[in-house]
Structure 1
Protein backbone atom coordinates (compact mmCIF):
# COMPACT_ATOMS: atom_id res chain seq x y z
CA UNK A 1 0.00 0.00 0.00
CA UNK A 2 1.29 3.49 -0.86
CA UNK A 3 0.80 6.27 1.69
CA UNK A 4 -0.33 9.67 0.44
CA UNK A 5 2.33 12.39 0.43
CA UNK A 6 2.10 14.80 3.32
CA UNK A 7 1.92 18.43 2.33
CA UNK A 8 3.05 21.14 4.72
CA UNK A 9 4.99 24.37 4.97
CA UNK A 10 8.71 24.28 4.68
CA UNK A 11 10.99 26.00 7.15
CA UNK A 12 11.80 28.72 4.59
CA UNK A 13 8.09 29.49 4.06
CA UNK A 14 7.54 29.75 7.83
CA UNK A 15 10.48 32.16 8.27
CA UNK A 16 9.28 34.38 5.40
CA UNK A 17 5.74 34.45 6.89
CA UNK A 18 7.09 35.43 10.33
CA UNK A 19 9.20 38.25 8.83
CA UNK A 20 6.23 39.65 6.86
CA UNK A 21 3.93 39.56 9.91
CA UNK A 22 6.64 41.19 12.07
CA UNK A 23 7.05 44.09 9.64
CA UNK A 24 3.26 44.61 9.50
CA UNK A 25 2.95 44.58 13.30
CA UNK A 26 5.84 47.04 13.67
CA UNK A 27 4.08 49.48 11.33
CA UNK A 28 0.78 49.21 13.20
CA UNK A 29 2.44 49.65 16.61
CA UNK A 30 4.32 52.70 15.30
CA UNK A 31 1.06 54.27 14.12
CA UNK A 32 -0.57 53.64 17.50
CA UNK A 33 2.40 55.20 19.29
CA UNK A 34 2.14 58.32 17.13
CA UNK A 35 -1.61 58.62 17.70
CA UNK A 36 -1.44 58.02 21.45
CA UNK A 37 1.39 60.54 21.82
CA UNK A 38 -0.85 63.27 20.43
CA UNK A 39 -4.07 62.24 22.11
CA UNK A 40 -3.62 64.86 24.86
CA UNK A 41 -3.21 67.76 22.38
CA UNK A 42 -6.93 68.38 21.75
CA UNK A 43 -7.62 68.19 25.48
CA UNK A 44 -4.86 70.70 26.26
CA UNK A 45 -6.04 72.99 23.46
CA UNK A 46 -9.59 72.97 24.83
CA UNK A 47 -8.31 73.62 28.33
CA UNK A 48 -6.17 76.52 27.02
CA UNK A 49 -9.26 78.13 25.47
CA UNK A 50 -11.21 77.70 28.72
CA UNK A 51 -8.37 79.23 30.71
CA UNK A 52 -8.08 82.15 28.28
CA UNK A 53 -11.84 82.78 28.55
CA UNK A 54 -11.57 82.82 32.35
CA UNK A 55 -8.73 85.36 32.25
CA UNK A 56 -10.31 87.55 29.55
CA UNK A 57 -13.63 87.65 31.41
CA UNK A 58 -11.83 88.76 34.56
CA UNK A 59 -9.71 91.40 32.79
CA UNK A 60 -12.40 92.90 30.55
CA UNK A 61 -14.77 93.47 33.49
CA UNK A 62 -12.26 95.79 35.20
CA UNK A 63 -12.18 99.58 34.78
CA UNK A 64 -10.35 101.07 31.79
CA UNK A 65 -7.85 102.94 33.99
CA UNK A 66 -7.27 103.43 37.69
CA UNK A 67 -8.47 107.05 37.37
CA UNK A 68 -11.70 106.00 35.60
CA UNK A 69 -14.65 106.50 37.93
CA UNK A 70 -17.02 103.62 38.66
CA UNK A 71 -19.44 103.35 35.74
CA UNK A 72 -16.98 104.98 33.33
CA UNK A 73 -18.44 108.49 33.48
CA UNK A 74 -17.04 111.03 33.10
CA UNK A 75 -14.74 109.49 30.55
CA UNK A 76 -11.07 109.19 31.49
CA UNK A 77 -9.05 111.72 29.48
CA UNK A 78 -5.54 111.17 30.86
CA UNK A 79 -2.68 109.41 29.14
CA UNK A 80 -2.26 105.69 28.67
CA UNK A 81 -0.78 104.22 31.83
CA UNK A 82 0.29 100.57 31.90
CA UNK A 83 0.94 98.49 35.01
CA UNK A 84 -0.22 98.39 38.60
CA UNK A 85 -0.35 101.62 40.58
CA UNK A 86 1.70 101.25 43.74
CA UNK A 87 2.03 97.90 45.46
CA UNK A 88 -0.98 96.08 44.03
CA UNK A 89 -1.15 92.34 43.80
CA UNK A 90 -3.47 90.03 41.88
CA UNK A 91 -6.25 90.25 44.46
CA UNK A 92 -6.33 94.07 44.27
CA UNK A 93 -6.06 94.60 40.49
CA UNK A 94 -8.79 97.10 39.69
CA UNK A 95 -8.13 98.13 36.09
CA UNK A 96 -7.19 96.47 32.80
CA UNK A 97 -3.53 97.46 32.66
CA UNK A 98 -2.71 96.05 36.11
CA UNK A 99 -2.70 92.59 34.51
CA UNK A 100 0.37 93.55 32.46
CA UNK A 101 2.42 92.27 35.43
CA UNK A 102 1.42 88.62 34.81
CA UNK A 103 4.40 86.94 33.18
CA UNK A 104 4.63 83.14 32.78
CA UNK A 105 2.84 82.39 36.01
CA UNK A 106 0.82 79.36 36.96
CA UNK A 107 -2.92 79.83 36.35
CA UNK A 108 -4.72 81.55 39.20
CA UNK A 109 -7.70 83.75 39.82
CA UNK A 110 -7.88 86.75 42.13
CA UNK A 111 -8.84 84.31 44.88
CA UNK A 112 -5.91 81.91 44.44
CA UNK A 113 -4.53 79.04 42.33
CA UNK A 114 -6.79 77.23 39.86
CA UNK A 115 -6.70 73.45 40.20
CA UNK A 116 -6.29 71.14 37.22
CA UNK A 117 -3.90 73.23 35.12
CA UNK A 118 -0.57 71.69 36.07
CA UNK A 119 2.11 72.59 33.52
CA UNK A 120 0.15 75.55 32.05
CA UNK A 121 1.50 79.11 32.25
CA UNK A 122 -0.16 82.45 31.56
CA UNK A 123 1.35 85.70 30.29
CA UNK A 124 -0.60 88.94 29.83
CA UNK A 125 0.63 91.91 27.80
CA UNK A 126 -1.40 95.14 27.80
CA UNK A 127 -0.57 97.94 25.35
CA UNK A 128 -2.07 101.28 24.38
CA UNK A 129 -3.67 100.63 21.01
CA UNK A 130 -6.31 103.19 20.11
CA UNK A 131 -5.26 103.33 16.46
CA UNK A 132 -5.03 99.53 16.15
CA UNK A 133 -8.72 98.90 16.60
CA UNK A 134 -9.58 100.18 13.12
CA UNK A 135 -11.41 103.23 14.41
CA UNK A 136 -10.31 106.82 14.79
CA UNK A 137 -9.28 106.75 18.46
CA UNK A 138 -6.27 108.35 20.09
CA UNK A 139 -3.76 105.79 21.33
CA UNK A 140 -4.73 106.51 24.94
CA UNK A 141 -8.40 105.59 24.37
CA UNK A 142 -8.05 101.82 23.80
CA UNK A 143 -5.91 99.06 25.22
CA UNK A 144 -5.07 95.75 23.58
CA UNK A 145 -4.85 92.73 25.86
CA UNK A 146 -2.67 89.90 24.53
CA UNK A 147 -3.03 86.73 26.55
CA UNK A 148 -0.59 83.86 25.95
CA UNK A 149 -1.39 80.42 27.33
CA UNK A 150 1.49 77.93 27.24
CA UNK A 151 0.40 74.30 27.50
CA UNK A 152 2.45 71.35 28.75
CA UNK A 153 4.84 70.38 25.99
CA UNK A 154 5.49 74.00 25.00
CA UNK A 155 2.65 74.95 22.64
CA UNK A 156 1.59 78.61 22.83
CA UNK A 157 -1.91 79.94 22.21
CA UNK A 158 -2.32 83.71 21.87
CA UNK A 159 -5.65 85.46 22.42
CA UNK A 160 -6.27 89.20 21.99
CA UNK A 161 -9.04 91.56 22.97
CA UNK A 162 -9.50 95.33 23.02
CA UNK A 163 -10.85 97.36 25.90
CA UNK A 164 -11.96 100.85 24.87
CA UNK A 165 -12.34 103.85 27.14
CA UNK A 166 -16.08 104.34 27.23
Structure 2
Protein backbone atom coordinates (compact mmCIF):
# COMPACT_ATOMS: atom_id res chain seq x y z
CA UNK A 1 0.00 0.00 0.00
CA UNK A 2 2.65 2.59 0.79
CA UNK A 3 4.13 2.01 -2.66
CA UNK A 4 0.89 2.93 -4.43
CA UNK A 5 0.58 6.26 -2.60
CA UNK A 6 4.12 7.18 -3.53
CA UNK A 7 3.54 6.63 -7.23
CA UNK A 8 0.15 8.37 -7.24
CA UNK A 9 1.58 11.45 -5.57
CA UNK A 10 4.43 11.66 -8.06
CA UNK A 11 2.12 11.41 -11.09
CA UNK A 12 0.01 14.37 -9.91
CA UNK A 13 2.81 16.81 -9.22
CA UNK A 14 4.34 17.75 -12.62
CA UNK A 15 3.16 19.18 -15.93
CA UNK A 16 3.36 17.42 -19.21
CA UNK A 17 5.40 18.42 -22.23
CA UNK A 18 2.19 19.13 -24.16
CA UNK A 19 1.07 21.62 -21.51
CA UNK A 20 4.41 23.43 -21.70
CA UNK A 21 4.21 23.65 -25.50
CA UNK A 22 0.62 24.97 -25.38
CA UNK A 23 1.66 27.57 -22.78
CA UNK A 24 4.58 28.76 -24.95
CA UNK A 25 2.35 29.00 -28.06
CA UNK A 26 -0.31 31.02 -26.19
CA UNK A 27 2.30 33.40 -24.75
CA UNK A 28 3.97 33.80 -28.17
CA UNK A 29 0.66 34.69 -29.87
CA UNK A 30 -0.35 37.20 -27.19
CA UNK A 31 3.13 38.74 -27.11
CA UNK A 32 3.09 39.15 -30.90
CA UNK A 33 -0.27 40.94 -30.77
CA UNK A 34 0.90 43.16 -27.93
CA UNK A 35 4.10 44.12 -29.74
CA UNK A 36 2.16 44.93 -32.93
CA UNK A 37 -0.03 47.40 -31.00
CA UNK A 38 3.02 48.89 -29.31
CA UNK A 39 4.84 49.31 -32.63
CA UNK A 40 1.82 51.08 -34.16
CA UNK A 41 1.69 53.56 -31.29
CA UNK A 42 5.42 54.25 -31.52
CA UNK A 43 5.29 54.81 -35.29
CA UNK A 44 2.38 57.27 -35.03
CA UNK A 45 3.53 59.07 -31.89
CA UNK A 46 5.19 61.89 -33.86
CA UNK A 47 2.14 62.62 -36.07
CA UNK A 48 0.49 65.17 -33.73
CA UNK A 49 3.75 67.10 -33.38
CA UNK A 50 4.25 67.13 -37.16
CA UNK A 51 0.68 68.26 -37.80
CA UNK A 52 0.88 71.05 -35.23
CA UNK A 53 4.12 72.24 -36.83
CA UNK A 54 2.47 72.21 -40.26
CA UNK A 55 -0.50 74.16 -38.87
CA UNK A 56 1.79 76.75 -37.28
CA UNK A 57 3.71 77.25 -40.52
CA UNK A 58 0.53 77.60 -42.60
CA UNK A 59 -1.17 79.94 -40.11
CA UNK A 60 1.88 82.20 -39.88
CA UNK A 61 2.04 82.65 -43.66
CA UNK A 62 -1.73 83.10 -43.98
CA UNK A 63 -1.70 85.78 -41.28
CA UNK A 64 1.20 87.53 -43.00
CA UNK A 65 -0.59 87.61 -46.38
CA UNK A 66 -4.00 88.63 -45.00
CA UNK A 67 -2.45 91.59 -43.16
CA UNK A 68 -1.36 93.14 -46.48
CA UNK A 69 -3.28 95.50 -48.73
CA UNK A 70 -5.86 94.05 -51.11
CA UNK A 71 -4.22 95.57 -54.17
CA UNK A 72 -1.33 97.81 -55.19
CA UNK A 73 -3.76 100.71 -55.59
CA UNK A 74 -5.44 100.20 -52.20
CA UNK A 75 -4.40 102.95 -49.79
CA UNK A 76 -3.12 102.17 -46.31
CA UNK A 77 -6.00 101.13 -44.09
CA UNK A 78 -7.98 99.91 -47.10
CA UNK A 79 -10.31 102.91 -47.24
CA UNK A 80 -11.55 103.75 -49.82
CA UNK A 81 -11.44 100.32 -51.40
CA UNK A 82 -10.10 100.12 -54.93
CA UNK A 83 -12.78 100.04 -57.65
CA UNK A 84 -15.28 101.56 -55.21
CA UNK A 85 -17.13 104.84 -55.62
CA UNK A 86 -14.45 107.48 -55.22
CA UNK A 87 -11.69 104.91 -54.72
CA UNK A 88 -8.67 104.18 -56.91
CA UNK A 89 -8.79 101.61 -59.71
CA UNK A 90 -7.54 98.15 -58.79
CA UNK A 91 -4.53 97.34 -60.93
CA UNK A 92 -3.47 93.90 -59.59
CA UNK A 93 0.11 94.30 -60.72
CA UNK A 94 2.49 91.75 -59.41
CA UNK A 95 5.73 93.22 -58.17
CA UNK A 96 8.53 91.49 -56.32
CA UNK A 97 8.20 93.71 -53.23
CA UNK A 98 5.45 91.54 -51.65
CA UNK A 99 3.46 94.51 -50.35
CA UNK A 100 -0.04 93.32 -51.27
CA UNK A 101 -1.99 90.06 -51.40
CA UNK A 102 -1.48 89.45 -55.15
CA UNK A 103 2.30 89.53 -54.80
CA UNK A 104 2.19 86.27 -52.83
CA UNK A 105 0.59 84.26 -55.66
CA UNK A 106 2.77 81.21 -56.37
CA UNK A 107 5.28 82.12 -53.66
CA UNK A 108 7.06 79.00 -52.42
CA UNK A 109 9.50 78.66 -49.56
CA UNK A 110 11.03 76.22 -47.11
CA UNK A 111 10.19 77.60 -43.66
CA UNK A 112 11.75 74.69 -41.73
CA UNK A 113 13.83 71.63 -42.59
CA UNK A 114 11.59 68.96 -44.12
CA UNK A 115 8.66 71.32 -44.82
CA UNK A 116 7.73 73.25 -47.94
CA UNK A 117 5.08 75.93 -48.20
CA UNK A 118 3.23 77.48 -51.13
CA UNK A 119 0.66 80.25 -51.46
CA UNK A 120 -2.09 80.54 -54.08
CA UNK A 121 -4.16 83.71 -54.52
CA UNK A 122 -7.25 83.61 -56.75
CA UNK A 123 -9.84 86.28 -57.48
CA UNK A 124 -13.20 85.06 -56.26
CA UNK A 125 -16.41 87.05 -56.64
CA UNK A 126 -18.52 87.08 -53.49
CA UNK A 127 -22.03 88.46 -53.25
CA UNK A 128 -21.65 92.21 -53.49
CA UNK A 129 -17.90 92.29 -52.86
CA UNK A 130 -14.57 91.67 -54.49
CA UNK A 131 -12.53 89.01 -52.73
CA UNK A 132 -9.37 86.99 -53.12
CA UNK A 133 -9.08 83.46 -51.85
CA UNK A 134 -5.69 82.96 -50.20
CA UNK A 135 -4.67 79.30 -49.81
CA UNK A 136 -1.52 78.26 -47.98
CA UNK A 137 -0.38 74.65 -48.38
CA UNK A 138 2.34 73.10 -46.22
CA UNK A 139 3.88 69.77 -47.23
CA UNK A 140 5.97 67.62 -44.89
CA UNK A 141 8.92 65.48 -45.90
CA UNK A 142 6.74 62.34 -46.06
CA UNK A 143 4.26 64.00 -48.46
CA UNK A 144 1.47 64.83 -46.02
CA UNK A 145 -0.18 68.18 -46.85
CA UNK A 146 -2.20 70.68 -44.88
CA UNK A 147 -4.05 73.58 -46.50
CA UNK A 148 -5.48 76.67 -44.83
CA UNK A 149 -7.56 79.14 -46.81
CA UNK A 150 -9.22 82.45 -46.12
CA UNK A 151 -10.82 85.28 -48.08
CA UNK A 152 -9.28 88.73 -48.27
CA UNK A 153 -12.09 91.14 -49.09
CA UNK A 154 -11.70 94.51 -50.76
CA UNK A 155 -13.04 96.75 -48.03
TM-score, normalization by structure 2: 0.82
Displacement of 1:79: 4.7
- The separation in 1 between residues aligned to 2:52 and 2:45, in whole angstroms, is 12
Q: Is residue 122 of structure 2 the alignment partner of residue 127 of structure 1?
A: yes
User: Which residue does 1:114 correspond to in 2?
Assistant: none
**Structure exhibiting the larger radius of gyration computed from Cα positions:** 2
- The separation in 2 between residues aligned to 1:74 and 1:161, in whole angstroms, is 22
Q: Is residue 128 of structure 2 the alignment partner of residue 136 of structure 1?
A: yes
Alignment of 1:17-166 (within 5 A): 17-77=23-83, 78-79=89-90, 81=92, 84-85=94-95, 88=96, 92-103=97-108, 105-107=109-111, 117-131=112-126, 135-137=127-129, 141-166=130-155
Higher strand share: 2
Contact persistence 1:80–1:128 (CA under 8 A): no
SS at match of 2:18: helix
SS at match of 2:27: helix
Count of residue pairs the alignment pairs up: 144
TM-score, normalization by structure 1: 0.77
SS at match of 2:10: coil
SS at match of 1:106: strand
Displacement of 1:118: 2.4
CA RMSD of aligned residues (A): 1.9
